[in-house]
Structure 1
Amino acid sequence: MMETILQTNIFEPILIEKANGSWFWDTKGNKYLDCVSGTWCVNLGHNHPRVIQAMKEQMDKLVHRSMRFLTPMTLQAAEDILLFFPHEYDKITFLNSGTEAVEFAINFAQKATNREKVLSLKNSYLGAYGIAKQYSYTSSKASDLKIDYPECDDINCNCLEDFNPLIEHIIENYSSELACFALEPILVSGGIHKPCTNFINELCKQLQEVGVLIVIDEVTTGFGRTGRKFGYEHYDITPDVIALGKAMGNGYPISAIITKAELEEKISPSNRYYAQSHQLDPLGAIAAATVVKIFEEEKVIEKSQEKIKQFNAFFQTLSHPAIKEIRSHGMLFGIQVQSYNNISSTDLVLQIKDKLLDEGVLIGYSVGKELLRLLPPLTITTEEREFVFQKLTKVFNEL
């Protein structure tokens, strides 16, 4: 049956039939705890009843309309999401995917500044195609504008002493050509790396002083994934444009870009024109608006703090010669694997993820990064966490 599907990915040899909360079931009735939240999308767990109910009610009214019209649901969702932000923004448009949102955000910055070049960090993943991919680590295209960065959690660090020359080099040589700095607050696909706070703060400050816009990619880090509403809150910066996606629809494909009217006004209406069939459709809008309400009313982020502590406490006890390093930030966890017992690190990554799947736990992995990833739903329960801890311990002990 799988032969009919174009092989754009490596698919596991099981078929998923249904899901609920932190779990999904295959067609044979086997149950798995989903520690990657779908594709890092269901921060509220699969099939959240409030999201499903809101979408069902909306489907009875209106799913799609001509792009020439707006709907009351879309306008209400726009207002709710803008109010959800810790900084004041007054413009939003809804799109379909994270890559589309980042592409739109970068293109918007280019038009607003009349500049073309984009600055990004090495190990960034900004999207699957176009400009977003060009400035991601997945692109083979070399660029002096994919820059190194210090990785540090110490606010009193001396990282700037080593990296000030790099900042000066960028400002002196590229600032007049740069449209934006496209930043992932935490480099998730790149290996769960957090750049030094002082470095990012200083770089963004100097870039904005010379008219370079700060575009933040919150596609993965947004909606509570880092322990705060948005990943950029871990820095002292005010973004100019923000790209959203993934958890915004809790499993339904919707994304957005957020910005300010003052930037919109710098672009002529004809140059601002963007038309896409499902842009601003009401079904995605109602899903996103409901997600925001759940976060606020059910205090999802506040409740996740204790869960983050419990995960970190467990990972401090998880020790094995095959583990090189464990990195975490909020509900983002990465286990860096190294060769062990004559088994290469790449083979170990595959072996561990397969053994965990056999034990009923789905985790993410990157062979190239020699990394195992866990991004569980923020709603994961105590019993579910203990199940994950037990299975991780068992699999590593049996290597």
Structure 2
Amino acid sequence: MKTELFIGRTQVEAKRQQYFYPCTQHFYRNSPQLVRGSMQYVYDELGKEYTDFFAGVSVVACGHCNPAITSRTIAQLQQLQHTTTVYLTQPAVDLAERLEEVLPGDLRRTFFVNSGSEANEGALLLARMHTGRKGFIALESGLHGRTNLTMSVTGLPMWRTDKYLDKDVVFIPRPYQEDLSLEEAASLSLESLERVLEEKGHTIAAMIVEPIQGNGGMIMPAPDYFRQVKVLLERYGVLLIADEIQTGFGRTGRMFAMEHYGVTADIVSMAKALGNGVPVAAFATTDEIALSLNRPSASTFGGNPVSAATALAVLDYIRDQQLPERAAQLGERLKAGLLELQQRYPAVISHVRGTGLMLGAELSGASADQAAQLTDRVLEAMKDHGYLIGKNGIGRNVLAFQPPLIITEADIDGMLGVLDSVLAEEDKTDGPL
């Protein structure tokens, strides 16, 4: 591809500054301008190759521009691009049928939308319709979207932009505290949940959770936590909503992350990897609960033929390439490598968390600001060496490893080798500055 087809990154940045809202930011001091992608690789306008270990925040799980998927997207685009749900189209019903095959338990009714925020908004509405109650319970440091209601149940302060959020939300401590064991933190969270239910259970429609808190820092609770949550909620007739938007479709080594805990939620929201870059999202539930969403409703673009055909191709590829199993195996290799780096640089890496190919390495500093600055320096250096890594966490000091699930052992080993050299540079001082 000829580089002269693209204007320079300085000009792109200037247009971005001129025409985008100031809330739109990127990770880097010198951000690459990405112009092309192929499986686990992306390329800038100068032709430099980057190995993607972030996948657009868990989106392109099957790889960038995967021909097995894009060929079917193009074919559908050329046949029927758009209609509405007032007409019959096969791709959408085929996709709903396929989702019923992979969803856990008795979840089989699906409402298609466009984004994760919209999926969670719909799930919350469904819970209110089914229970006749208004309130919600959410975990501190969770992230569920940027609509008013999903922002209301978001527990990360930096994402709670609206000053006029819904007041009928109660936050409880998440089952993680740095100075406690996972079991101790889970116990404190459950005690808080029980107190809230005893006081307000009759007003609560649902509790919404991420099986693994992604933006909260790759937080995975004790194995028995969600089972005990479900028992408490059922006692008070409160529904459980599993936000699987980042965790769904094989990323954690299971098709859905709640399977790690042996729990089936009442409602599951999904997006991101389902479309592998094409906007498609949904919330799914049981026959019984679905009956409560019975007033006329539609989504203009939700479940459109192109998105549905793409998602069907994604599900085929996940099945045929056994991506959940692949994520579990490669995740073990990546996590072992990160743990080895933690042993080598204990003053730099304080924690390694997560499972499958959804892993985080928390970086240390003399202060929260210094830890965040260290994280930015590591991201910049890794980018300069050709590796794109994400960041998250309450203090924005957790390196996020969420690569396409088609990443290879060689890619992982190469990235770990470069990360080793970058961390060694940081460790030359008396500790990260």
Query: If the TM-score is normalised by the length of the shorter chain, which range does it land in?
Result: over 0.9
Structure 1 unmatched ranges of 5 or more: none
Whether the 8 Å CA contact 1:159–1:199 is kept in 2: the answer is no
Specify which of 160, 172, 180 is matched with residue 139 of structure 1. Answer: 160
Percent identity, aligned pairs only, is 25
Compute the displacement of 1:129 (Å).
2.3
Q: Output the amino acid matched with 2:15.
A: T
Number of residue equivalences = 395
Q: Is the 8 A contact 2:104 2:264 kept in 1?
A: no
Confirm or deny that 1:380 pairs with 2:418: no
Q: What are the ranges of 5 or more consecutive residues in structure 2 without an aligned counterpart?
A: 1-10, 427-433
Runs of 4+ in structure 1 over 4 Å off: 140-144, 155-164, 340-343
Spell out the pairing of 1:1-399 with structure 2 (5 A cutoff).
1=11, 2-5=13-16, 6-7=20-21, 8-11=23-26, 12=28, 13-136=31-154, 137=156, 138-139=159-160, 145-151=170-176, 157=183, 162-267=188-293, 269-270=294-295, 273-318=296-341, 319-320=344-345, 321-339=347-365, 344-366=370-392, 368-399=395-426
Tell me if the contact between 1:336 and 1:372 (Cα under 8 Å) persists in the aligned partners.
Answer: yes
- 1:53 deviates by 1.0
Q: C-alpha deviations, 1:60-119, integer Å up to 9, x for none? A: 210101342130111111111111123232211211111110011111111111111111
Is this contact kept in 1: 2:41–2:51, CA < 8 A?
yes
What's the offset of the Cα at 1:336?
1.1
CA distance in 2, matches of 1:27, 1:257: 38
Cα distance between partner residues in 1 of 2:232 and 2:148 = 27
- The change in CA–CA distance for 1:164 and 1:99 in structure 2 (over 3 A counts) is closer
The amino acid that maps onto 1:310 is R
Compute the TM-score of the two structures, normalised by the length of structure 1.
Answer: 0.93
Please give the TM-score of this superposition, normalised by the length of structure 2: 0.86
State the one-letter code of the partner of 2:300.
S
Cα distance in 1 for partners of 2:234, 2:242 equals 13
Whole-Å separation in 1 of the counterparts to 2:409 and 2:240: 38
Is the CA contact 1:159–1:198 (under 8 Å) kept in the aligned structure 2?
no
Distance 1:345 1:324 in 2: 11
Listed one character per residue, the Cα deviations across residues 328-348 of structure 1 (whole Å, up to 9, x for unaligned) are: 222111111112699921211
Write the distance in 1 (CA, Å) between the matches of 2:186 and 2:35: 51
Distance in 2, Cα, partners of 1:326 & 1:90: 35
- CA 218–23 in structure 1, closer or farther in 2 if over 3 Å, else same: same
Q: CA contact under 8 A between 1:93 and 1:256: conserved in structure 2? A: yes
Deviates more, 1:54-63 or 1:321-330: 321-330
CA distance in 1 between partners of 2:151 and 2:409 (Å): 38
The aligned amino acid for 2:277 is: G
Query: Structure 2 CA distance, aligned partners of 1:146 and 1:342?
Result: 24
- The residue identity in structure 2 corresponding to 1:51 is I
> 2:429 matched to which residue of 1?
none
What CA deviation, in whole Å up to 9, does each residue of 1:168-218 have, x standing for no partner?
312211110111010100001001001233232112112123211111100
CA contact 1:214–1:241 (8 Å) conserved in 2? yes
Cα distance, 1:372 vs. partner? 1.4
SS for the counterpart of 2:259 is: helix
- TM-aligned CA deviation for residue 147 of structure 1: 0.6
- Give CA deviations for 1:14-73 in whole Å, capped at 9, x if unaligned: 211100111100001111111001232011111111111111111121010134213011
Alignment partners' CA distance in 2, 1:379 and 1:310: 14
AA in 1 matched with 2:320: E
Report how far residue 219 of structure 1 moved: 0.3
CA contact (8 A) 1:361 1:388 kept: yes
